[in-house]
Structure 1
């Protein structure tokens, strides 16, 4: 089975459409549907209408429950400003959907135990990065028993072997921050046990026009999208 992993969509419907064009048998979303981007309502509706299983991202919690998102200093002002916009264009039904997303999803497919969450098994505010030391990984993993751990949150795609566990981060669909502006996602093959990181062109100019027409801090948001950081 080919599982398409999408994460950190952040209201970018054009990038989401590109990611969904990748061949797959099922899709799991690793959270953060809203904030930063111009189309949060459309992205949430797409996930809901297509019954795509999704976990709770820190921005989903911030939008749905009106709590602090726990963002780093560098992007905090954009998160706060774009959240006001997000609240204006999303319905109570959409916010309720975000509020009730689960912290994690666990599956067993083709004999493999799979664990899906946003930040780490310990906290959806915690970053597991490509360069995170093994001892910190050990603490974040919290003793879960799984063959493959799927995470998002950092906007940095990577595949890393840690002891007997494969860790896969598909990167960010809607707002990459690894100096590559292409939409990022991944496919995991449950038969081969291998993960493939995928980068895709999308209509970034259309997304930028939407940002310019309706969002706060448009120049900064557009620059981040086009630089990929």
Structure 2
């Protein structure tokens, strides 16, 4: 099975549509559908239409329950400003969808065990980055509300693609589909082959100009938001 992994869409419909054109048998979204981008409603609609398993991210949580997203200081003013926009765009059904998203899913797929969550097993607000020490990751795992009894821990949140192994646990992050932080302007995703256990990371070109035009027309802090998309960070 080709398992498509996506995360951190952030209202970027063009990027989401592009990653969903990748051939796959099943897709899982690791959360953060909303904030920063112009089309949170269309992104939610497309995920529902495609019946894609989706985790609740910290930005989804902030929009759904009107609480702090606890994101990094560098981008926090953008998340706060664009959240007001997001609330205006989403209808009641969209808000209820976000509220009902699970914080984690544990599942066996083709004989392999997976633990899907947004940030870390301990908190949706914690980052597991390539440079995060093994010791810190293990503390996050030990503090998990639900035991991480899996071969593969699949997360989002950092917006940085990652495939690393700690002991018997492989940690995968597909990067961000719609709000890059790794210097690549493409829509990032990953395809996991459940037969071989191999992971392929993709950065796909999409119509950034169309997204930027909508941001400039509709959203606050447009220059900063479009700059991120055009730089890749």
Provide TM-score, normalisation by structure 2.
0.97
Rounded Cα–Cα distance in structure 1 between residues aligned with 2:10 and 2:209? 16
Equivalent position to 2:183, from 159, 179, 193: 179
Cα shift at 1:92: 1.0
Rounded Cα–Cα distance in structure 2 between residues aligned with 1:183 and 1:109? 25
The alignment yields a C-alpha RMSD, in angstroms, of: 0.8
Cα shift at 1:47: 1.1
Rounded Cα–Cα distance in structure 1 between residues aligned with 2:2 and 2:141? 25
- How many residue pairs get aligned? The number is 229
Q: Does 1:95 align with 2:99?
A: no
Answer with 102-111 or 203-212: which moved more: 102-111
Q: Does 1:194 align with 2:198?
A: yes
Unaligned runs of 5+ in 1: none
Rounded Cα–Cα distance in structure 2 between residues aligned with 1:7 and 1:215? 22
Rounded Cα–Cα distance in structure 1 between residues aligned with 2:122 and 2:109? 23
Q: Does 1:108 align with 2:73?
A: no
Equivalent position to 1:168, from 172, 178, 181: 172
Cα shift at 1:110: 1.9
Rounded Cα–Cα distance in structure 2 between residues aligned with 1:59 and 1:8? 9
1:17 counterpart residue number:
17
Rounded Cα–Cα distance in structure 2 between residues aligned with 1:101 and 1:172? 19
Cα shift at 1:49: 2.0
Unaligned runs of 5+ in 2: none
2:218 counterpart residue number:
214
Provide TM-score, normalisation by structure 1.
0.98
